[in-house]
Chains A and B, each alone.
Chain A
Amino acid sequence: MTLSSIDATSPREALARTTDIPAISAVGVSKRYGHVMALDGLSIDIRRGEVFGLLGPNGSGKTTFMRLLAGYLLPSAGRLTVEGLDAVRDSLAVRRCIGYVPESAPLYRQMLVGEFLAFMARLRGLPEDAVGAAVERVVVELVLGDVVGKPTRALSRGYRQRTALAQALIHDPDILILDEPTNGLDPRQIIEMRELIRSLAGRHTVLMSSHILSEVERTCDRVGIMLNGRLLGVQTMADTPDLESWFLSLT
Protein backbone atom coordinates (compact mmCIF):
# COMPACT_ATOMS: atom_id res chain seq x y z
CA MET A 1 0.00 0.00 0.00
CA THR A 2 1.30 3.42 -0.84
CA LEU A 3 0.43 6.68 0.80
CA SER A 4 -1.04 8.13 -2.34
CA SER A 5 -3.55 5.28 -2.52
CA ILE A 6 -5.05 6.17 0.84
CA ASP A 7 -7.97 8.55 0.95
CA ALA A 8 -7.22 10.86 3.84
CA THR A 9 -6.94 14.56 4.60
CA SER A 10 -3.41 14.56 6.01
CA PRO A 11 -0.32 12.38 5.71
CA ARG A 12 -0.58 11.56 9.40
CA GLU A 13 -4.18 10.35 9.09
CA ALA A 14 -3.16 8.33 6.07
CA LEU A 15 -0.31 6.75 7.98
CA ALA A 16 -2.55 5.92 10.89
CA ARG A 17 -4.55 3.63 8.61
CA THR A 18 -1.64 1.42 7.75
CA THR A 19 0.80 -0.57 9.80
CA ASP A 20 3.14 -1.10 6.87
CA ILE A 21 5.11 2.01 7.61
CA PRO A 22 7.19 1.83 10.81
CA ALA A 23 6.36 4.32 13.53
CA ILE A 24 10.04 5.28 13.69
CA SER A 25 12.65 4.72 11.03
CA ALA A 26 16.32 5.68 11.23
CA VAL A 27 18.72 5.19 8.34
CA GLY A 28 22.42 5.81 8.99
CA VAL A 29 21.71 8.41 11.65
CA SER A 30 24.77 9.98 13.26
CA LYS A 31 25.26 12.73 15.80
CA ARG A 32 28.62 14.35 16.34
CA TYR A 33 29.60 16.78 19.12
CA GLY A 34 32.87 18.28 17.96
CA HIS A 35 35.25 15.33 17.74
CA VAL A 36 32.97 13.00 19.71
CA MET A 37 30.69 10.69 17.72
CA ALA A 38 27.72 10.20 20.09
CA LEU A 39 25.71 8.22 17.55
CA ASP A 40 27.36 6.39 14.69
CA GLY A 41 25.30 5.37 11.67
CA LEU A 42 22.31 3.99 13.55
CA SER A 43 19.68 2.25 11.41
CA ILE A 44 16.52 0.84 12.92
CA ASP A 45 12.77 0.43 12.32
CA ILE A 46 10.38 0.51 15.26
CA ARG A 47 6.97 -0.99 14.61
CA ARG A 48 3.67 0.62 15.38
CA GLY A 49 2.26 -0.29 18.82
CA GLU A 50 5.29 -2.14 20.15
CA VAL A 51 7.33 -1.43 23.27
CA PHE A 52 10.91 -1.18 22.11
CA GLY A 53 13.75 -1.07 24.59
CA LEU A 54 17.17 0.42 24.04
CA LEU A 55 19.67 -1.25 26.31
CA GLY A 56 23.19 -0.10 26.89
CA PRO A 57 25.59 1.40 29.38
CA ASN A 58 25.70 5.13 30.14
CA GLY A 59 27.16 7.05 27.21
CA SER A 60 26.17 4.43 24.65
CA GLY A 61 24.02 6.91 22.68
CA LYS A 62 20.53 5.99 23.90
CA THR A 63 19.67 9.47 25.14
CA THR A 64 21.15 11.09 22.03
CA PHE A 65 18.94 8.94 19.80
CA MET A 66 15.87 9.79 21.86
CA ARG A 67 16.68 13.50 21.80
CA LEU A 68 17.03 13.33 18.03
CA LEU A 69 13.59 11.74 17.76
CA ALA A 70 12.03 14.26 20.12
CA GLY A 71 13.46 17.15 18.10
CA TYR A 72 15.75 18.41 20.86
CA LEU A 73 18.80 17.62 18.73
CA LEU A 74 19.35 17.55 14.99
CA PRO A 75 21.20 14.68 13.32
CA SER A 76 24.64 15.34 11.81
CA ALA A 77 23.96 12.74 9.12
CA GLY A 78 21.36 10.18 8.07
CA ARG A 79 17.60 10.22 7.74
CA LEU A 80 15.15 9.97 10.59
CA THR A 81 11.41 9.61 10.02
CA VAL A 82 8.59 9.50 12.55
CA GLU A 83 5.18 8.38 11.31
CA GLY A 84 6.55 8.85 7.80
CA LEU A 85 7.45 12.48 8.50
CA ASP A 86 11.01 13.74 8.21
CA ALA A 87 12.22 14.58 11.72
CA VAL A 88 14.25 17.56 10.48
CA ARG A 89 12.12 19.01 7.68
CA ASP A 90 8.76 18.39 9.41
CA SER A 91 10.07 18.90 12.92
CA LEU A 92 6.96 20.65 14.28
CA ALA A 93 4.62 17.98 12.90
CA VAL A 94 6.84 15.24 14.33
CA ARG A 95 6.86 16.92 17.74
CA ARG A 96 3.04 16.96 17.66
CA CYS A 97 2.85 13.17 17.45
CA ILE A 98 5.47 12.49 20.11
CA GLY A 99 5.29 12.50 23.89
CA TYR A 100 8.72 12.69 25.48
CA VAL A 101 9.92 12.15 29.03
CA PRO A 102 13.56 13.17 29.52
CA GLU A 103 15.72 11.18 31.93
CA SER A 104 15.56 13.73 34.74
CA ALA A 105 11.77 14.14 34.42
CA PRO A 106 11.98 17.94 34.50
CA LEU A 107 8.99 19.92 35.81
CA TYR A 108 8.41 23.62 36.41
CA ARG A 109 8.98 23.98 40.13
CA GLN A 110 6.78 27.05 40.60
CA MET A 111 3.68 25.35 39.17
CA LEU A 112 1.10 23.09 40.77
CA VAL A 113 0.78 19.66 39.14
CA GLY A 114 -2.57 20.57 37.58
CA GLU A 115 -1.24 23.90 36.31
CA PHE A 116 1.79 22.21 34.83
CA LEU A 117 -0.32 19.65 32.97
CA ALA A 118 -2.67 22.36 31.67
CA PHE A 119 0.33 24.42 30.54
CA MET A 120 1.79 21.46 28.66
CA ALA A 121 -1.61 20.71 27.10
CA ARG A 122 -1.86 24.29 25.79
CA LEU A 123 1.75 24.23 24.65
CA ARG A 124 1.03 21.09 22.67
CA GLY A 125 -1.81 22.87 20.92
CA LEU A 126 -4.90 21.35 22.56
CA PRO A 127 -7.94 23.62 22.11
CA GLU A 128 -8.83 25.56 25.25
CA ASP A 129 -12.11 23.68 25.76
CA ALA A 130 -10.27 20.33 25.65
CA VAL A 131 -7.55 21.20 28.17
CA GLY A 132 -9.58 20.45 31.30
CA ALA A 133 -10.74 17.07 30.01
CA ALA A 134 -7.20 16.14 28.92
CA VAL A 135 -5.81 16.99 32.35
CA GLU A 136 -8.57 15.01 34.02
CA ARG A 137 -7.89 12.02 31.75
CA VAL A 138 -4.17 11.81 32.53
CA VAL A 139 -4.73 12.50 36.24
CA VAL A 140 -7.04 9.47 36.37
CA GLU A 141 -4.85 7.32 34.10
CA LEU A 142 -1.70 7.99 36.11
CA VAL A 143 -3.38 8.13 39.52
CA LEU A 144 -2.31 11.70 40.28
CA GLY A 145 -5.51 12.72 42.06
CA ASP A 146 -3.78 13.07 45.45
CA VAL A 147 -1.14 15.47 44.17
CA VAL A 148 -2.89 17.48 41.46
CA GLY A 149 -3.11 20.53 43.73
CA LYS A 150 0.44 20.25 45.06
CA PRO A 151 3.46 22.17 43.79
CA THR A 152 5.63 19.99 41.56
CA ARG A 153 8.67 20.75 43.74
CA ALA A 154 7.01 18.90 46.63
CA LEU A 155 6.56 15.63 44.72
CA SER A 156 8.28 12.36 45.57
CA ARG A 157 10.41 10.79 42.83
CA GLY A 158 7.61 8.36 41.94
CA TYR A 159 4.97 11.08 41.55
CA ARG A 160 7.48 13.24 39.72
CA GLN A 161 8.01 10.49 37.17
CA ARG A 162 4.26 9.97 36.84
CA THR A 163 3.67 13.67 36.33
CA ALA A 164 6.37 13.75 33.67
CA LEU A 165 4.70 10.80 31.96
CA ALA A 166 1.32 12.53 32.26
CA GLN A 167 2.61 15.61 30.41
CA ALA A 168 3.89 13.32 27.67
CA LEU A 169 0.47 11.68 27.36
CA ILE A 170 -1.60 14.86 27.64
CA HIS A 171 -2.09 15.20 23.87
CA ASP A 172 -2.58 11.46 23.36
CA PRO A 173 0.48 11.07 21.10
CA ASP A 174 1.08 8.13 18.78
CA ILE A 175 4.61 7.69 20.05
CA LEU A 176 6.01 7.81 23.56
CA ILE A 177 9.71 8.23 24.19
CA LEU A 178 10.77 7.43 27.74
CA ASP A 179 14.37 7.96 28.73
CA GLU A 180 15.22 5.73 31.70
CA PRO A 181 11.64 5.82 33.05
CA THR A 182 12.44 3.73 36.14
CA ASN A 183 15.53 5.68 37.11
CA GLY A 184 15.58 6.49 40.82
CA LEU A 185 12.34 4.69 41.64
CA ASP A 186 11.96 2.27 44.52
CA PRO A 187 11.05 -1.39 43.79
CA ARG A 188 7.29 -0.86 44.20
CA GLN A 189 7.35 2.22 41.98
CA ILE A 190 9.38 0.32 39.38
CA ILE A 191 6.72 -2.40 39.24
CA GLU A 192 3.96 0.22 38.93
CA MET A 193 5.82 2.07 36.18
CA ARG A 194 6.43 -1.18 34.31
CA GLU A 195 2.73 -2.06 34.45
CA LEU A 196 1.88 1.44 33.32
CA ILE A 197 4.17 1.21 30.30
CA ARG A 198 2.81 -2.22 29.39
CA SER A 199 -0.72 -0.83 29.56
CA LEU A 200 0.23 1.87 27.06
CA ALA A 201 1.44 -0.64 24.46
CA GLY A 202 -0.82 -1.08 21.47
CA ARG A 203 -2.44 2.32 21.81
CA HIS A 204 0.98 3.97 21.62
CA THR A 205 4.33 3.00 20.22
CA VAL A 206 6.71 3.13 23.15
CA LEU A 207 10.46 3.58 22.89
CA MET A 208 12.20 3.35 26.23
CA SER A 209 15.79 3.20 27.33
CA SER A 210 17.36 1.50 30.27
CA HIS A 211 20.66 0.16 31.47
CA ILE A 212 18.93 -2.47 33.61
CA LEU A 213 18.56 -5.82 31.83
CA SER A 214 15.64 -7.08 33.89
CA GLU A 215 13.60 -3.94 33.25
CA VAL A 216 13.89 -4.26 29.50
CA GLU A 217 13.29 -8.01 29.68
CA ARG A 218 10.00 -7.58 31.56
CA THR A 219 8.67 -4.51 29.78
CA CYS A 220 9.63 -4.65 26.12
CA ASP A 221 8.52 -6.57 23.02
CA ARG A 222 11.84 -6.01 21.27
CA VAL A 223 15.22 -4.85 22.42
CA GLY A 224 18.21 -3.18 20.76
CA ILE A 225 21.64 -3.19 22.34
CA MET A 226 23.78 -0.08 22.01
CA LEU A 227 27.43 0.56 22.76
CA ASN A 228 29.65 3.52 21.87
CA GLY A 229 26.98 5.12 19.68
CA ARG A 230 26.38 1.96 17.64
CA LEU A 231 23.42 -0.39 17.55
CA LEU A 232 24.94 -3.85 17.96
CA GLY A 233 21.80 -5.95 17.53
CA VAL A 234 18.02 -6.11 17.69
CA GLN A 235 15.90 -9.08 18.79
CA THR A 236 12.38 -9.81 19.97
CA MET A 237 12.14 -10.83 23.60
CA ALA A 238 10.52 -14.07 22.45
CA ASP A 239 13.69 -14.93 20.54
CA THR A 240 15.91 -13.96 23.46
CA PRO A 241 15.57 -16.53 26.24
CA ASP A 242 18.73 -15.30 27.93
CA LEU A 243 19.08 -11.53 27.49
CA GLU A 244 22.07 -11.35 29.82
CA SER A 245 24.16 -13.82 27.79
CA TRP A 246 23.20 -12.11 24.53
CA PHE A 247 24.08 -8.69 25.99
CA LEU A 248 27.45 -9.96 27.24
CA SER A 249 28.23 -11.67 23.96
CA LEU A 250 27.66 -8.41 22.06
CA THR A 251 29.35 -6.02 24.46
Chain B
Amino acid sequence: MRTLRVLFAKEVSATLTSPIGYTVAAVFLLVLGYTFSLTLFVTKVANLQYIFHQMYVLSILLVPVLTMRTFAEERRSETLELLLTAPVRELWIVLAKYAATLTLVFGIFAATLVYAIILDRYGEPDWGPIYAGYLALALHASLLVSVGLLMSSITESQVVAAALSIGTFLMLWFADSVSYLLPPPFDSVAINLSLIGHFKPMVSGSVFLSDIGYFISASMLALFLTTWRLAQR
Protein backbone atom coordinates (compact mmCIF):
# COMPACT_ATOMS: atom_id res chain seq x y z
CA MET B 1 0.00 0.00 0.00
CA ARG B 2 2.90 2.35 0.68
CA THR B 3 4.08 1.93 -2.91
CA LEU B 4 0.59 2.79 -4.12
CA ARG B 5 0.63 5.93 -1.94
CA VAL B 6 4.05 6.96 -3.26
CA LEU B 7 2.97 6.47 -6.87
CA PHE B 8 -0.36 8.23 -6.25
CA ALA B 9 1.40 11.25 -4.73
CA LYS B 10 3.73 11.41 -7.72
CA GLU B 11 0.81 11.31 -10.16
CA VAL B 12 -1.13 14.00 -8.29
CA SER B 13 1.98 16.17 -8.20
CA ALA B 14 2.48 15.66 -11.95
CA THR B 15 -1.12 16.69 -12.57
CA LEU B 16 -0.87 19.79 -10.39
CA THR B 17 2.35 20.95 -12.03
CA SER B 18 0.97 20.56 -15.54
CA PRO B 19 -1.26 23.19 -17.15
CA ILE B 20 -3.42 20.48 -18.73
CA GLY B 21 -5.48 19.77 -15.60
CA TYR B 22 -6.19 23.45 -14.96
CA THR B 23 -7.12 24.04 -18.60
CA VAL B 24 -9.53 21.10 -18.66
CA ALA B 25 -11.10 22.21 -15.38
CA ALA B 26 -11.49 25.79 -16.62
CA VAL B 27 -13.09 24.76 -19.93
CA PHE B 28 -15.37 22.26 -18.20
CA LEU B 29 -16.62 24.69 -15.56
CA LEU B 30 -16.92 27.62 -17.96
CA VAL B 31 -19.16 25.69 -20.35
CA LEU B 32 -21.23 24.25 -17.50
CA GLY B 33 -21.62 27.62 -15.80
CA TYR B 34 -22.90 29.12 -19.02
CA THR B 35 -25.34 26.22 -19.58
CA PHE B 36 -26.56 26.24 -15.98
CA SER B 37 -27.32 29.97 -15.98
CA LEU B 38 -29.03 29.80 -19.35
CA THR B 39 -31.12 26.73 -18.46
CA LEU B 40 -32.13 28.11 -15.09
CA PHE B 41 -33.24 31.47 -16.44
CA VAL B 42 -35.11 29.94 -19.40
CA THR B 43 -36.83 26.95 -17.74
CA LYS B 44 -36.94 28.15 -14.12
CA VAL B 45 -37.09 24.46 -13.13
CA ALA B 46 -35.02 23.27 -10.16
CA ASN B 47 -33.34 20.18 -11.59
CA LEU B 48 -29.87 19.31 -12.87
CA GLN B 49 -30.73 16.72 -15.52
CA TYR B 50 -29.69 18.96 -18.38
CA ILE B 51 -26.44 19.78 -16.60
CA PHE B 52 -25.73 16.08 -16.00
CA HIS B 53 -26.18 15.33 -19.70
CA GLN B 54 -23.85 18.18 -20.53
CA MET B 55 -21.29 16.83 -18.04
CA TYR B 56 -21.64 13.42 -19.69
CA VAL B 57 -20.73 14.87 -23.10
CA LEU B 58 -17.99 17.16 -21.80
CA SER B 59 -16.42 14.25 -19.90
CA ILE B 60 -16.26 12.21 -23.09
CA LEU B 61 -14.42 15.04 -24.80
CA LEU B 62 -12.19 16.19 -21.94
CA VAL B 63 -11.25 13.08 -19.91
CA PRO B 64 -9.09 11.80 -22.83
CA VAL B 65 -7.08 15.02 -22.53
CA LEU B 66 -6.32 14.08 -18.91
CA THR B 67 -5.58 10.41 -19.55
CA MET B 68 -3.63 10.76 -22.80
CA ARG B 69 -0.35 11.59 -21.07
CA THR B 70 -0.53 8.99 -18.29
CA PHE B 71 1.41 6.21 -19.99
CA ALA B 72 2.18 7.73 -23.41
CA GLU B 73 4.27 10.49 -21.84
CA GLU B 74 6.11 8.05 -19.57
CA ARG B 75 6.83 5.85 -22.58
CA ARG B 76 8.00 8.77 -24.74
CA SER B 77 10.26 10.23 -22.04
CA GLU B 78 11.42 6.70 -21.12
CA THR B 79 10.58 7.17 -17.43
CA LEU B 80 8.34 4.11 -17.78
CA GLU B 81 11.63 2.18 -17.83
CA LEU B 82 12.37 3.52 -14.34
CA LEU B 83 8.95 2.47 -13.03
CA LEU B 84 8.99 -0.98 -14.59
CA THR B 85 12.51 -1.77 -13.39
CA ALA B 86 11.70 -0.77 -9.81
CA PRO B 87 10.35 -3.49 -7.51
CA VAL B 88 6.77 -2.44 -8.16
CA ARG B 89 3.86 -4.49 -9.47
CA GLU B 90 2.30 -3.24 -12.70
CA LEU B 91 -1.10 -3.20 -10.99
CA TRP B 92 0.07 -0.56 -8.49
CA ILE B 93 1.29 1.67 -11.30
CA VAL B 94 -2.05 1.38 -13.09
CA LEU B 95 -4.13 1.89 -9.94
CA ALA B 96 -2.08 4.95 -8.92
CA LYS B 97 -2.63 6.61 -12.28
CA TYR B 98 -6.31 5.64 -12.25
CA ALA B 99 -6.86 6.99 -8.74
CA ALA B 100 -4.96 10.22 -9.38
CA THR B 101 -6.80 11.00 -12.63
CA LEU B 102 -10.15 10.08 -11.11
CA THR B 103 -9.42 12.34 -8.13
CA LEU B 104 -8.91 15.27 -10.49
CA VAL B 105 -12.14 14.50 -12.38
CA PHE B 106 -14.06 14.18 -9.11
CA GLY B 107 -12.55 17.48 -8.01
CA ILE B 108 -13.95 19.15 -11.14
CA PHE B 109 -17.32 17.46 -10.60
CA ALA B 110 -17.32 18.60 -6.97
CA ALA B 111 -17.12 22.20 -8.13
CA THR B 112 -20.51 21.72 -9.83
CA LEU B 113 -22.13 21.00 -6.46
CA VAL B 114 -22.50 24.75 -6.22
CA TYR B 115 -25.33 24.45 -8.78
CA ALA B 116 -27.20 22.05 -6.49
CA ILE B 117 -26.66 24.44 -3.60
CA ILE B 118 -28.06 27.33 -5.65
CA LEU B 119 -31.11 25.25 -6.59
CA ASP B 120 -31.62 24.37 -2.93
CA ARG B 121 -31.29 28.00 -1.89
CA TYR B 122 -33.82 29.37 -4.37
CA GLY B 123 -36.05 26.36 -5.10
CA GLU B 124 -37.11 22.92 -3.96
CA PRO B 125 -35.17 20.41 -6.03
CA ASP B 126 -35.88 16.67 -5.95
CA TRP B 127 -32.67 15.38 -4.39
CA GLY B 128 -33.12 11.75 -5.51
CA PRO B 129 -32.24 12.35 -9.16
CA ILE B 130 -29.42 14.69 -8.11
CA TYR B 131 -27.78 12.03 -5.91
CA ALA B 132 -28.37 9.41 -8.62
CA GLY B 133 -27.00 11.80 -11.25
CA TYR B 134 -23.75 12.29 -9.35
CA LEU B 135 -23.49 8.53 -8.85
CA ALA B 136 -23.94 8.09 -12.61
CA LEU B 137 -21.29 10.70 -13.32
CA ALA B 138 -18.84 9.07 -10.90
CA LEU B 139 -19.30 5.68 -12.55
CA HIS B 140 -19.13 7.24 -16.01
CA ALA B 141 -15.87 9.00 -15.09
CA SER B 142 -14.43 5.75 -13.77
CA LEU B 143 -15.12 4.03 -17.08
CA LEU B 144 -13.73 6.92 -19.12
CA VAL B 145 -10.54 7.15 -17.04
CA SER B 146 -9.86 3.42 -17.12
CA VAL B 147 -10.44 3.17 -20.89
CA GLY B 148 -8.32 6.32 -21.36
CA LEU B 149 -5.47 4.69 -19.41
CA LEU B 150 -5.73 1.60 -21.61
CA MET B 151 -5.47 3.69 -24.76
CA SER B 152 -2.53 5.64 -23.35
CA SER B 153 -0.75 2.38 -22.51
CA ILE B 154 -0.72 1.17 -26.10
CA THR B 155 1.00 4.13 -27.73
CA GLU B 156 3.72 6.66 -27.03
CA SER B 157 1.84 9.42 -28.84
CA GLN B 158 -0.47 11.45 -26.61
CA VAL B 159 -2.52 12.62 -29.60
CA VAL B 160 -3.08 9.05 -30.78
CA ALA B 161 -4.06 8.05 -27.21
CA ALA B 162 -6.62 10.86 -27.02
CA ALA B 163 -8.00 10.09 -30.48
CA LEU B 164 -8.35 6.39 -29.66
CA SER B 165 -10.11 7.22 -26.39
CA ILE B 166 -12.60 9.63 -27.95
CA GLY B 167 -13.25 7.18 -30.79
CA THR B 168 -13.95 4.37 -28.32
CA PHE B 169 -16.23 6.56 -26.20
CA LEU B 170 -18.22 7.72 -29.23
CA MET B 171 -18.63 4.12 -30.40
CA LEU B 172 -19.87 3.12 -26.94
CA TRP B 173 -22.16 6.14 -26.82
CA PHE B 174 -23.85 5.28 -30.09
CA ALA B 175 -23.65 1.50 -29.78
CA ASP B 176 -27.41 1.15 -29.38
CA SER B 177 -28.15 3.18 -32.52
CA VAL B 178 -26.75 0.41 -34.75
CA SER B 179 -28.62 -2.35 -32.95
CA TYR B 180 -31.52 -2.38 -35.43
CA LEU B 181 -29.04 -3.24 -38.20
CA LEU B 182 -27.79 -6.32 -36.37
CA PRO B 183 -29.34 -9.80 -36.14
CA PRO B 184 -30.11 -11.37 -32.75
CA PRO B 185 -28.33 -11.79 -30.39
CA PHE B 186 -25.90 -9.08 -31.55
CA ASP B 187 -28.60 -6.42 -31.45
CA SER B 188 -29.11 -6.87 -27.72
CA VAL B 189 -25.33 -6.95 -27.20
CA ALA B 190 -25.09 -3.57 -28.93
CA ILE B 191 -27.93 -2.18 -26.79
CA ASN B 192 -26.28 -3.43 -23.61
CA LEU B 193 -22.95 -1.90 -24.59
CA SER B 194 -24.47 1.53 -24.94
CA LEU B 195 -22.97 4.11 -22.62
CA ILE B 196 -25.94 6.46 -22.74
CA GLY B 197 -28.34 3.54 -22.29
CA HIS B 198 -26.87 2.90 -18.84
CA PHE B 199 -26.36 6.55 -17.95
CA LYS B 200 -29.79 7.96 -18.79
CA PRO B 201 -31.94 5.97 -16.32
CA MET B 202 -29.69 6.89 -13.38
CA VAL B 203 -29.79 10.60 -14.20
CA SER B 204 -33.57 10.48 -14.12
CA GLY B 205 -33.40 8.88 -10.67
CA SER B 206 -33.79 5.18 -11.56
CA VAL B 207 -30.79 3.32 -10.20
CA PHE B 208 -30.50 -0.26 -11.47
CA LEU B 209 -27.82 -2.68 -10.39
CA SER B 210 -27.38 -3.70 -14.04
CA ASP B 211 -26.33 -0.14 -14.92
CA ILE B 212 -23.95 0.08 -11.98
CA GLY B 213 -22.58 -3.35 -12.90
CA TYR B 214 -21.99 -2.21 -16.48
CA PHE B 215 -19.81 0.73 -15.45
CA ILE B 216 -17.90 -1.18 -12.78
CA SER B 217 -17.23 -4.25 -14.93
CA ALA B 218 -16.19 -2.13 -17.93
CA SER B 219 -13.81 -0.14 -15.70
CA MET B 220 -12.33 -3.30 -14.21
CA LEU B 221 -11.90 -4.88 -17.64
CA ALA B 222 -10.07 -1.80 -18.92
CA LEU B 223 -7.82 -1.67 -15.84
CA PHE B 224 -7.07 -5.38 -16.20
CA LEU B 225 -6.17 -4.93 -19.88
CA THR B 226 -3.95 -1.96 -19.04
CA THR B 227 -2.10 -4.01 -16.43
CA TRP B 228 -1.78 -6.89 -18.86
CA ARG B 229 -0.46 -4.51 -21.53
CA LEU B 230 2.21 -3.21 -19.14
CA ALA B 231 3.20 -6.76 -18.24
CA GLN B 232 3.78 -7.60 -21.93
CA ARG B 233 7.51 -7.15 -22.24
In the complex formed, the residue of A with least CB distance to B5 is: A122
Partner of A107, one of B10, B18, B79: B79
Partner of A95, one of B7, B17, B85: B85
Partner of A106, one of B7, B79, B86: B79
Q: Are B17 and A110 in contact (CB under 8 A)?
A: yes
Q: Which chain B residues border A120 with CB–CB below 8 Å?
A: 82, 86
Interface presence of A92 (CB below 8 A) = yes
Range class of the A interface residue count: 20 to 34
Instruction: Give the distance in Å from the alpha carbon of A108 to the alpha carbon of B9 in the complex.
Output: 13
Instruction: Give the distance in Å from the alpha carbon of A74 to the alpha carbon of B233 in the complex.
Output: 6
Q: Which chain A residues border B26 with CB–CB below 8 Å?
A: none
Interface presence of A71 (CB below 8 A) = yes
In the complex formed, the residue of A with least CB distance to B77 is: A106
* CB 8 Å contact bits of B1-28 with A (1 = contact, 0 = none): 0110011001001100110000000000
Q: Which chain B residues border A70 with CB–CB below 8 Å?
A: 81, 85
Q: Which chain A residues border B7 with CB–CB below 8 Å?
A: 123
Q: Are A109 and B77 in contact (CB under 8 A)?
A: yes
Give B122 Cβ to nearest chain A Cβ, in Å: 43
In the complex formed, the residue of B with least CB distance to A74 is: B233
Interface presence of A140 (CB below 8 A) = no
Q: Are A123 and B78 in contact (CB under 8 A)?
A: no
Instruction: Give the distance in Å from the alpha carbon of A42 to the alpha carbon of B155 in the complex.
Output: 30
Q: Which chain A residues border B83 with CB–CB below 8 Å?
A: 123
Q: Are A108 and B86 in contact (CB under 8 A)?
A: no
Tally of B interface residues using CB under 8 Å: 22
Q: Which chain B residues border A122 with CB–CB below 8 Å?
A: 2-3, 6
Q: Are B81 and A71 in contact (CB under 8 A)?
A: no
Instruction: Give the distance in Å from the alpha carbon of A73 to the alpha carbon of B232 in the complex.
Output: 8
Q: Are B87 and A95 in contact (CB under 8 A)?
A: yes
Chain B residues near A (Cβ < 8 Å): 2-3, 6-7, 10, 13-14, 17-18, 77-79, 81-89, 233
Q: Are A123 and B77 in contact (CB under 8 A)?
A: no
Instruction: Give the distance in Å from the alpha carbon of A70 to the alpha carbon of B86 in the complex.
Output: 8
Partner of A73, one of B2, B3, B86, B233: B233
Q: A119-B6, A122-B3, A123-B3 are in contact. List 14 more A-B contacts (CB 8 A).
A: A70-B81, A92-B89, A95-B85, A100-B85, A106-B79, A106-B82, A108-B10, A110-B18, A119-B10, A120-B86, A123-B6, A123-B83, A123-B88, A167-B82
Partner of A72, one of B17, B18, B81: B81
Partner of B81, one of A106, A111, A119: A106
A73, A109, A123, A125 — which one has the most chain B CB atoms within 10 A of its CB? A123
A sample of 9 cross-chain residue pairs with beta-carbon separation below 8 angstroms, ordered by A number, consists of A71-B84, A72-B81, A102-B81, A106-B81, A110-B14, A119-B10, A122-B3, A123-B3, A123-B88
Q: Are B87 and A108 in contact (CB under 8 A)?
A: no
In the complex formed, the residue of A with least CB distance to B17 is: A110
In the complex formed, the residue of A with least CB distance to B92 is: A123
Q: Are B87 and A124 in contact (CB under 8 A)?
A: yes
Interface presence of A240 (CB below 8 A) = no
Which 10 pairs across A and B sit closest by C-beta, in order of nearness? A106-B78, A70-B85, A95-B87, A122-B6, A110-B17, A74-B233, A96-B87, A123-B86, A106-B79, A73-B233
In the complex formed, the residue of A with least CB distance to B13 is: A110
Q: Are B233 and A72 in contact (CB under 8 A)?
A: yes
- Enumerate A69-83 residues with CB–CB distance to B below 8 Å: 70-74
Q: Which chain B residues border A119 with CB–CB below 8 Å?
A: 6, 10
Give A69 Cβ to nearest chain B Cβ, in Å: 9
On whether A125 and B87 interact (CB within 8 A), knowing A104-B78, A106-B78, A110-B14, the answer reads: yes
Give B11 Cβ to nearest chain A Cβ, in Å: 11
